[in-house]
Structure 1
Amino acid sequence: MVADWLLVAAAQYNEQSLEGRDGYPAHVLMPVETLAQILDWTFQSLPDEILVGMDVNPEMPHRREVEDAYCGVDFESGLFSGQGFVLGEPHLVNRGDSYSVHHVPEEWMDGLFSKDRGVRGGRFSHWLHTHPNAPAIPSGADAEAAQWTEGSDMILGVRYSPEGILPWFDDIEGERRELSP
């Protein structure tokens, strides 16, 4: 069950996305239950980062009315694998500090997910990793890993308290989108 605060926050986030749709060439739809699971893993793993692998659910294409509403003036189809489909079940792949949580060689992980996903189970098309107490700005390693991702490579910056040794930075470049009610 998804907490009420997250349902409210997700609705507000989606509303902001709709208002800003002309600023995005594409969009990714993630079920709120998936986000709730990722947030749960995130908070259980603090202060470490986590790496989550996902594929699209081939049985859940974007609903036509949602697709039409969220496609802005600069929309481009075919930008990444699985575009036009809702993300499927998340899989917790790795946990560690910022130096050890990056993508690990797929062949190292295939056996971990083979029971549920087959012999090449560690090969995900979409990735998400967290930045605890840091904005969702890609590092050099993040940007390089994204070049090898078939789908999208996402970062979730998570602010928590007490901050510990890494304080939250307010003056950053780029756009910061908050997920809070």
Structure 2
Amino acid sequence: MFVNLLRNNKLVAGILTFIRVYLGYQWMTGGWGKITGGEFDASGFLQGAVANASGENPTVQGWWAVFLEAVAIPGADIFTFLVMWGEFLVGIALILGLFTNFAALMGIMMNFAFLFSGTISTNAQMILLTLFLLVAGYNAGRFGLDRYVIPFIKEKVFHQNEDRFIKPAETH
């Protein structure tokens, strides 16, 4: 019943719009600050997360530290780029309500990565709010560009390809 309310109610879509724009603003400003600040480098953060995986009270799980050491630290330049631009683009997409579900999914993945790395900022609250967007599906972007883009994509992409897969019955 609650899921149905999240997915179909227009009043809830309005509330979700405020949540979506708030989250988008948080992501956009975070990413923009990293892009324009010129000082963001993920390698220090990644090395700090690995260091927090040991000791008496580790804040980072060992399996995550292994991933960071084997993949993220050697590719720190790529991760620096992905974090800066990922945060910014997720923010823009959420504010505009464009590909809302995909943007929310990418945002929640970044939040989990930050939490796994030992941060305790607003990531948990952002995950909670993003879950509402993900469960709401299309309704989360109803008052955004998804209202126009999603039907267009469904019509142009999926209906045009139907002819390729559904062959008319042959008559003899």
TM over 0.5: no
The TM-score range, normalised by the shorter chain, is under 0.3
Which has more radius of gyration? 2
Structure number with higher helix proportion: 2
